[in-house]
Structure 1
Amino acid sequence: MIIETFGPPGAGKTTFSEALAQRLRDRGYEVDLVLTLPHLSNHLLNFGGFLPALQRVTLAIFATIAILCRPVANARGLRLAKDLLRLMPPSNPVWWIRLSQYVVRFSCIWRDSHKPDRIVLFDQGFVQIVCTLALFSRADEKTIAHAIGMRTRSDLLIRFDAPAELLEQRLHERVRQKTYMEKWFEPDVGTFLKAKPITDYVGSLLAAEHQQMICINSLDPGLMSKALDRIEEEVSSKFRPDGAVGLSPGAGDDSFERCAEKFTPPLPAPETIGTFTAQAQPELARRMASASLWAFVIYVGGAGLTCVAQLVIARTIGATSYGIYSYVLAWTTLLSYIAGLGFNTVLLRYVPAYSATGKWPLARGVIQFAFGRSLLVGMLIAICGVAIALFLSETLHRELTVSLAVGMATVPLVALYVLGSATVRALGGVISAIAPERFVRDGLMVVLLLLAVALNVTPIDATTVLIALMASSAVTAAIVGLSMRKLWPPQLRSAVPAYAPRDWWHLACPVMILIGVEVLMSRAGVIILGWTGDAHEAGIFALGLNLALFLVLPRMAVGTFFSPNVSKLHAHRNEAALQSLFARATVLSLAGTVVLALPLLLLTVPLLRFFGEEFVATAPVAQILVVGQIFAAATGPQQNLLTMTGHERAAAAITAIGAVMNVVACAIGIAFFGVMGAAVATAVTNVAWNTAMAIYIYKRVNMTAGLLFAFVEFRRPAAAE
Structure 2
Amino acid sequence: MTQTVSSTTDENLNLGILAKEAGIALIIKFAGILLTYVVQVFLARWMGTTEYGIYEYVIAWSILLAIPAGLGLPHTVLRFVSQYQVKEEWGLLRGIVRSSWLMTILASLLLSLLAAGVILLLNYYHPFAYATPLLIGIGLIPLQALVNLQLETSRAAKDVTLAYAPSLIVWPVLVVCGAFLVLETTHFLTGNLAIAIAQIALLIAVLFQLGLLLLKLNQEFEPSKPVYAIREWLGVAFIVLLQYGCFIILSKSDTIMVGSILGPEEAGMYGAAVKTAEWVAFVLTIVNIVAAPSFAALYAKDDIEGLQKVVSTVAVWIFWPSLVISLFLIAFSQPVLGIFGSEFIAANWQLKILVLGRLLSTWCGSVGYLMVMTGHQNKSLPVFIYTTVLNIVLNAIAIPMIGAVGAAIATAFCSAVWNIWLSFLVVKYVGVSPLVFRGLFQQFSSKEEIGT
TM-score normalised to structure 2 length: 0.94
**What is the match of residue 418 of structure 1?**
148
Mapped pair 1:657 → 2:372: no
Identity, in percent, stands at 26
Residues 20-66 of structure 1: CA deviation (Å, up to 9, x unaligned): xxxxxxxxxxxxxxxxxxxxxxxxxxxxxxxxxxxxxxxxxxxxxxx
**What is the match of residue 367 of structure 1?**
97
Measured in 2, the distance between the counterparts of 1:410 and 1:475 equals: 12
Residues 401-422 of structure 1: CA deviation (Å, up to 9, x unaligned): 2210122211111111211111
Question: Aligned-pair distance for 1:311?
Answer: 0.6
Residues 491-527 of structure 1: CA deviation (Å, up to 9, x unaligned): 7462101011222122111111111111111112111
Measured in 2, the distance between the counterparts of 1:714 and 1:371 equals: 43
Asked if structure 2 preserves the Cα contact closer than 8 Å seen for 1:383 and 1:409, the reply is no
**What is the match of residue 259 of structure 1?**
none
Return the match for 1:406 from 136, 151, 166.
136
**What is the match of residue 81 of structure 2?**
351
- SS class of match (1:494): coil
**What is the match of residue 595 of structure 1?**
324
Asked if structure 2 preserves the Cα contact closer than 8 Å seen for 1:364 and 1:496, the reply is yes
Question: Aligned-pair distance for 1:682?
Answer: 0.9
Measured in 1, the distance between the counterparts of 2:220 and 2:22 equals: 28
The one-letter code of the counterpart of 2:333 is: T
1:300-699 to structure 2, matched below 5 A, reads 300-394=30-124, 395-397=126-128, 400-456=130-186, 459-490=188-219, 492=221, 494-532=223-261, 534-699=263-428
Measured in 1, the distance between the counterparts of 2:374 and 2:441 equals: 22
Q: How many residues align?
A: 447
Mapped pair 1:291 → 2:11: no
The one-letter code of the counterpart of 2:81 is: V
Measured in 2, the distance between the counterparts of 1:588 and 1:351 equals: 26
Measured in 1, the distance between the counterparts of 2:209 and 2:381 equals: 28
Question: Aligned-pair distance for 1:652?
Answer: 2.7
Structure 2: state its 5+ residue gaps. Answer: none
The one-letter code of the counterpart of 1:603 is: F
The one-letter code of the counterpart of 1:450 is: F
Measured in 1, the distance between the counterparts of 2:246 and 2:379 equals: 13
1:169-184 to structure 2, matched below 5 A, reads none
The structure whose residues are more often helix, as a share, is 2
Measured in 2, the distance between the counterparts of 1:419 and 1:331 equals: 18
Structure 1: state its 5+ residue gaps. Answer: 1-164, 173-276
The one-letter code of the counterpart of 1:584 is: T
Asked if structure 2 preserves the Cα contact closer than 8 Å seen for 1:670 and 1:678, the reply is yes
**What is the match of residue 103 of structure 1?**
none
Asked if structure 1 preserves the Cα contact closer than 8 Å seen for 2:318 and 2:362, the reply is yes
Asked if structure 2 preserves the Cα contact closer than 8 Å seen for 1:604 and 1:623, the reply is yes
Asked if structure 2 preserves the Cα contact closer than 8 Å seen for 1:589 and 1:633, the reply is yes
The one-letter code of the counterpart of 1:544 is: A
Indicate the RMSD between aligned Cα atoms, in angstroms: 2.1
- SS class of match (2:365): coil
Q: Where in structure 1 do 4 or more consecutive aligned residues deviate above 6 Å?
A: 716-721
**What is the match of residue 13 of structure 1?**
none
Asked if structure 1 preserves the Cα contact closer than 8 Å seen for 2:262 and 2:403, the reply is no
Measured in 2, the distance between the counterparts of 1:496 and 1:518 equals: 36
Question: Aligned-pair distance for 1:278?
Answer: 4.0
Q: Provide closer, same or farther for how the CA distance between residues 487 and 413 of structure 1 changes in structure 2, counting only shifts above 3 A.
A: same
Measured in 2, the distance between the counterparts of 1:449 and 1:298 equals: 23
Residues 72-119 of structure 1: CA deviation (Å, up to 9, x unaligned): xxxxxxxxxxxxxxxxxxxxxxxxxxxxxxxxxxxxxxxxxxxxxxxx
**What is the match of residue 430 of structure 2?**
701
Asked if structure 1 preserves the Cα contact closer than 8 Å seen for 2:281 and 2:359, the reply is no
Asked if structure 2 preserves the Cα contact closer than 8 Å seen for 1:360 and 1:491, the reply is no
Measured in 1, the distance between the counterparts of 2:220 and 2:343 equals: 57
The one-letter code of the counterpart of 1:664 is: V
Q: Provide closer, same or farther for how the CA distance between residues 602 and 533 of structure 1 changes in structure 2, counting only shifts above 3 A.
A: closer
1:148-159 to structure 2, matched below 5 A, reads none
Asked if structure 2 preserves the Cα contact closer than 8 Å seen for 1:580 and 1:714, the reply is no
Measured in 2, the distance between the counterparts of 1:542 and 1:552 equals: 16
- SS class of match (2:189): coil
Question: Aligned-pair distance for 1:554?
Answer: 1.1
Larger deviation: 554-563 or 314-323?
A: 314-323
Asked if structure 1 preserves the Cα contact closer than 8 Å seen for 2:55 and 2:192, the reply is yes
Measured in 2, the distance between the counterparts of 1:694 and 1:376 equals: 36
Question: Aligned-pair distance for 1:376?
Answer: 0.6
Question: Aligned-pair distance for 1:295?
Answer: 0.8
The one-letter code of the counterpart of 1:486 is: L
Asked if structure 1 preserves the Cα contact closer than 8 Å seen for 2:272 and 2:340, the reply is no
Asked if structure 1 preserves the Cα contact closer than 8 Å seen for 2:283 and 2:318, the reply is yes
Q: Provide closer, same or farther for how the CA distance between residues 361 and 715 of structure 1 changes in structure 2, counting only shifts above 3 A.
A: farther
Measured in 2, the distance between the counterparts of 1:474 and 1:608 equals: 30
Q: Pick the structure with greater CA Rg.
A: 1
Residues 163-222 of structure 1: CA deviation (Å, up to 9, x unaligned): xx99xx9xx9xxxxxxxxxxxxxxxxxxxxxxxxxxxxxxxxxxxxxxxxxxxxxxxxxx
Q: Provide closer, same or farther for how the CA distance between residues 515 and 492 of structure 1 changes in structure 2, counting only shifts above 3 A.
A: same
Question: Aligned-pair distance for 1:485?
Answer: 2.0
The one-letter code of the counterpart of 1:283 is: L
Question: Aligned-pair distance for 1:645?
Answer: 0.3
Asked if structure 2 preserves the Cα contact closer than 8 Å seen for 1:334 and 1:520, the reply is yes
The one-letter code of the counterpart of 1:422 is: E
Measured in 2, the distance between the counterparts of 1:491 and 1:701 equals: 32
